Structure 1
Amino acid sequence: MFGIYLKRELSRRKKATLVIAMGLALGIALVITVNSVSAGMQQAQGKVLKSLYGLGTDMTVTKARPASTGSSSGRPKFDFDAKSDSGTTQSSDRVMTQGGQSLKSSLVTRVAAQKGVSGAVGALSLNVTKVDGSFTRGTAKSSTSSGSGSSGAQQGGPGGGSGQPQVQGGGASFDVNSYSVAGVDVTHQDLGPLATSKITTGRTFTAAQTDAKVAVLSASYAKENKKTVGGTLTISGTKYTVIGIATPDSSESTTDVYLPLKQAQTLGDAKDEVTTIYVEAADSKRIDTVKAAIQKNISGTTVTTSADLADTVSGSLSTASDLAASVGKWLSVAVLVAAFLVAALLTSSAVSRRVREFGTLKALGWPSRRVTRQVVGESVVNGLLGGALGIALGLGAAYAVTAISPKLTAELGSTGGGGMGGGPGGGGPGRQAVKNTMEIALSAPVSVTTIALAAGLAIAGGLVAGAMGGWRASRMRPADALRSVA
């Protein structure tokens, strides 16, 4: 009986039912859209932070490079023999450590021993500047004047027949190439610079190659310099065999060459030194506690977490994320509350127009609770219908955002004190003070949790509207119906 009457009443008032359902649908659709876009923002920020960190890395430990003192500026200096034979090619490499002041390798063990740390790996960041080219000698020629000379000319005075010697031709042509090198602890490759890359050609280092003259190149560097697996790479006169080509998970990774840590230390004249210590926490929820412990027990170091790095991300990604997190959520809440109120007011208004109906039903013996249940039932059905429409609209909006994939930019600033120097994508060696711009395609994934939230809101909206309408209907008396007839 309840179901039959419910169906008949909803069919009889299709227009009012559709208006209430659409009001709820718009609010629910906005909630789904904002939640899905916020999830897309989090994914985008995750990609940015992933490009700065190695997989599994929760924080890094570095040390700020002190200000240079004295006349030495630390700039690269190259010496060439300008007296060499014409056309002789000359080449020189300048290898410099980057990423802040060097740390003793023993600090890696100390960091690993801190409470809450499950693993720590040291890495050395280098920047190699290669200059090669050749000098070409010029030739000195003298010119003789035409015509008969005077006595002054014969004596070599002004206007004489012999002019000043002139150098013709000659010069120099040199090419400058700079690239980054990361020294990798080959015994713990799951943490550190190489962890964010996948070997696509060849193989990675073995645990036995701690001091082997082998190298893994990034795909972009190998393509640009026409390097292949089995070929060689010469750095400061040392030849390294290329054993693998790595493709980074993030397109913004700036490390070009990976070497065993000991080989990198030899190149950079940094024996038993590292520039960055990658740290993995035992509990991801206690990262701040681990950070505080490291800073307290190992003085002079800078500990950088993903939260610190997130603060350095600016650009349209950061702006859009802030809008989605604040303005978008508050707007969706406001629209949802408005939708609930409109549904409640429309339901209450509809009940007012059904005075004769409910008064007659009470005169026939319907108790107030049965009348209230009837109104609440109709409102819940309206809410479910609005929820279905809202979910459909929300999914459509999320799909449209994903299909369009608007591009957002993220500028990665320096965290200071060496920050993420040497970390994958963190500006790379020698680039800590320069902002690195990434372009991220925005998507809007919709989770099952979001759908469940939408369904819950639909039911809640129906209950709110039904509660107000039911309360009004329960207060009606049979005499009200008689007065409306009169």
Structure 2
Amino acid sequence: MFGIYLKRELSRRKKAALVIAMGLALGIALVITVDSVSAGMQQAQGKVLKSLYGLGTDMTVTKARPAATGSSSGRPKFDFDAKADSSTTQSSDRVMTQGGQSLKSSLVTEVAAQKGVSSAVGALGLNVTKVDGSFTRGTAKSSASSGSAGSSGSSGSQQGGPGGGSGQPQVQGGGASFDVNSYSVAGVDVTHQDLGPLATSKITTGRTFTASQTDAKAAVLSASYAKENKKTVGGTLTISGTKYTVIGIATPDSGESTTDVYLPLKQAQTLGDAKDEVTTIYVKATDSKRIDTVKAAIQQNIPGTTVTTSADLASTVSGSLSTASNLATSVGKWLSVAVLVAAFLVAALLTSSAVSRRVREFGTLKALGWPSRRVTRQVVGESVVNGLLGGALGIVLGLGAAYAVTAISPKLTAELGSTGGGGTGGGPGGGGPGRQAVKNTMDIALSAPVSVTTIALAAGLAIAGGLVAGAMGGWRASRMRPADALRSVA
């Protein structure tokens, strides 16, 4: 009886049911869209942090570089012999550590032993500044006499004076032409490549290091650096007189790599005169939900270090990605809540209004012996069906909007500033001599993934909307008396 009456009443009031369902559908669709876009923003920020700093749910341990004192300016110094022949090309490399003050390699083991740490790997960041070019020696020539060559007497007294027979020798020509090239190098622990600066890139050409190449003269180049300098697998790269064979080309998972050259850690330590030292310790936690606890433990047990998590770096992300993320988190969610509440209220008011137009019907049913609870159940049942219909329409609309965002894939720009002090963490590419104000910039294509949880939330909201509308309409229907129906007939 309940089902038959429910079906008949919904069929009779198709327009009213559709209006209520569409109101709920718009609110639910907006919730799905905002939730999926917010999830896409979080994924985009994760890509930014992973690409720029090799972080995911993990952290890095660094130590801030102290301020330069005395004659130590922290800048590379080059000395050339200016008397060199013009045909001689001079070249010099200056290799300096970057990304913070150097740490003892023994700290890697100490960090790995902390509670909550799954593994820890050390890396050494270097900045190589290469200067090459040549000097051209000038030619000394005397200027021509401006006076009369046949003038008599005192020629010696006139020489060198104003209007004298010959001027001071002048150097003509000469100079210097030098090219300056700066690039970053990361020393990689080849036995643990799943964590560290090379973990966020994949080898697209050639191969990566083997576990036995701990001190091999081999190099992996980033795709952008290899293209710019026309390097290929099998070629060589010379740094400070040492030749390294290029064994692979690495492409970052997203964005652009902040490291140009990857070397085995021992080779990087030799180049940077940093034996048994690292500049960054990459840490993987046993549980991503305990990142803050692990961070506090490391800072307490290993004083003087700076522990940087992905959450810390997320707060420094700027650009359109950060702006859009803030809008989606604050304005978008509050807007979706407001629209959803309005949809619930509209559905409740429409249901209540529909009940008021059915005075004769409900009064007659009560006169025939229907108790108030049965009338209320009938109204609530109709409202729940309207809510489910609105939920289905809302899910379809929400999925369509999310698909449209993913298909369009609007580009967002993310900027994450790095400093040469290394105090803000970051990988080997995060700053260094001569790069104190560098900003890493990358473009991210926004997507809007819809999770099963979001669909379940939408279904729950649809049922809740139907119940709210049904409760209000049922309460009004239960207050009707049979006399109301008789009065309306009269």
TM-score normalised by structure 2 residue count: 0.93
- Matched residue SS, 1:193: coil
Give the distance between the partners of 2:228 and 2:247, measured in 1 at CA: 17
- Cα 1:57–1:470, aligned 2, differ >3 Å: closer, same or farther? closer
Query: What's the CA shift for 1:158?
Result: 4.2
| More displaced 10-residue stretch of structure 1: 44-53 or 174-183 | 44-53
Asked if the contact 1:359/1:481 (under 8 Å) is kept, the reply is yes
Distance 1:430 1:420, change over 3 A: farther
Q: Distance in 2 between matches of 1:275 and 1:220?
A: 24
In structure 2, how many angstroms separate the alpha carbons of the residues matched to 1:473 and 1:121? 70
1:6-40 CA-partner distances (Å, limit 9, x unpaired): 23322222222222112111111111111011111
The 8 Å contact of residues 99 and 420 in structure 1, kept in 2 or not, is answered as no
Counterpart-to-counterpart distance in 2, 1:348 and 1:156: 113
Q: SS of 1:466's equivalent?
A: helix
* 2:471 is aligned with 1:470: no
Q: Is the 8 A contact 2:419 2:430 kept in 1?
A: no
Report the 3-state secondary structure (helix = DSSP H, G, I; strand = E; otherwise coil) of the residue aligned with 2:123.
strand
Using a 3 Å threshold, how does the CA distance of structure 1 residues 428 and 316 change in structure 2: closer, same or farther? farther
CA contact (8 A) 2:376 2:474 kept: yes
8 Å CA contact 1:356, 1:481 repeated in 2: yes
1:347 Cα deviation after fit:
0.7
Deviation at 1:252, TM superposition (A): 2.9
- CA change 1:397–1:157 in 2 (3 A) is closer
Cα displacement (A) at 1:392: 2.1
8 Å contact from structure 2 (residues 380, 474) kept in 1? yes
Q: 1:111–1:429: structure 2 CA closer, same or farther, 3 Å change rule?
A: farther
- 1:161-194 CA-to-partner distances (Å, cap 9, x unmatched) read 4343332221111000000000111111111111
Identity %: 95
TM-score for the superposition, normalised by structure 1: 0.94
Residues 22, 393 of structure 2: 8 Å contact kept: yes
| 1:21/1:386 contact within 8 Å kept | yes
Residues 55 and 195 in structure 1, CA contact (< 8 A), matched pair in contact too: no
Partner of 2:108: helix, strand, or coil? Answer: helix
| Higher deviation after alignment, 143-152 or 273-282 | 143-152
Q: What is the rounded CA distance, in whole Å, between the counterparts of 1:155 and 1:34 in structure 2?
A: 89
Superimposed CA distance per residue, residues 461-482 of structure 1 (whole angstroms, 9 cap, x where no aligned partner): 1111112112221222222111
Pair 473,364 (structure 1): closer, same or farther in 2 beyond 3 Å? same
Partners of 2:411 and 2:434 lie apart in 1 by 28
Against the structure 1 CA distance between its residues 148 and 385, is the aligned structure 2 distance closer, same or farther, given a 3 Å change threshold?
farther
Deviation at 1:150, TM superposition (A): 9.0
Give the aligned partner of residue 433 of structure 2.
429
Q: Distance in 2 between matches of 1:41 and 1:155?
A: 81
C-alpha deviation, 1:56, in angstroms: 6.1
Matches of 1:421 and 1:39, distance apart in 2: 26
Deviation for aligned residue 1:425: 5.8
- Assess if the C-alpha contact under 8 Å between 1:56 and 1:191 holds in 2: no
Contact 1:215 1:258 in 2 (8 A): yes
Structure 1 residue ranges, 4+ long, deviating more than 6 angstroms after superposition:
146-150, 152-156
Measured in 2, the distance between the counterparts of 1:460 and 1:156 equals 104
Structure 2, unaligned runs of 5 or more: none
Q: CA 1:355–1:425 in structure 2 vs 1: closer, same or farther (change >3 Å)?
A: farther
Map 1:258-269 to 2 at 5 A: 258-269=262-273
Following superposition, the deviation at residue 408 of structure 1 comes to: 2.3
Deviations 1:60-114 (A, max 9, x none): 1111111111122121111111111113111000000011111111111111111
Contact (CA 8 Å) 1:265, 1:271: kept in 2 or not? Answer: yes
State the Cα deviation string for residues 276-316 of structure 1 (Å, max 9, x = none).
Answer: 11111112222212111111111111111111111211232
Residues 112-168 of structure 1 show CA distances to partners (whole Å, capped at 9, x for unaligned) of 111221111111000000000011112222343479999679867643443433322
Bigger mean CA offset, 122-131 vs 311-320: 311-320
Match of 1:56 in 2: 56
Moved more, 157-166 or 425-434: 425-434
1:406–1:284 distance in 2 versus 1, CA, 3 Å: same
| 1:365 Cα deviation after fit | 3.0
Distance 1:214 1:416, change over 3 A: closer
Number of corresponding residues: 486
Distance (Å, rounded) in 1 between the aligned partners of 2:82 and 2:30: 72
Match of 1:20 in 2: 20
Contact (CA 8 Å) 2:159, 2:167: kept in 1 or not?
A: no
Counterpart CA distance in 2 for 1:157 and 1:460 is 105
Give CA-to-partner distance per residue, 1:403-462, whole Å, 9 cap, x none. Answer: 332332222134896146561664578646433233222221112221221111111111
Residue 424 of structure 1: SS of its match in structure 2? coil
Contact 2:125–2:429 (CA under 8 A) maintained in structure 1: no
Does the CA contact (< 8 Å) of 2:240 and 2:271 recur in 1? Answer: yes
Q: Which runs of 5+ in 1 are unaligned?
A: none
Q: Distance in 2 between matches of 1:424 and 1:69?
A: 24
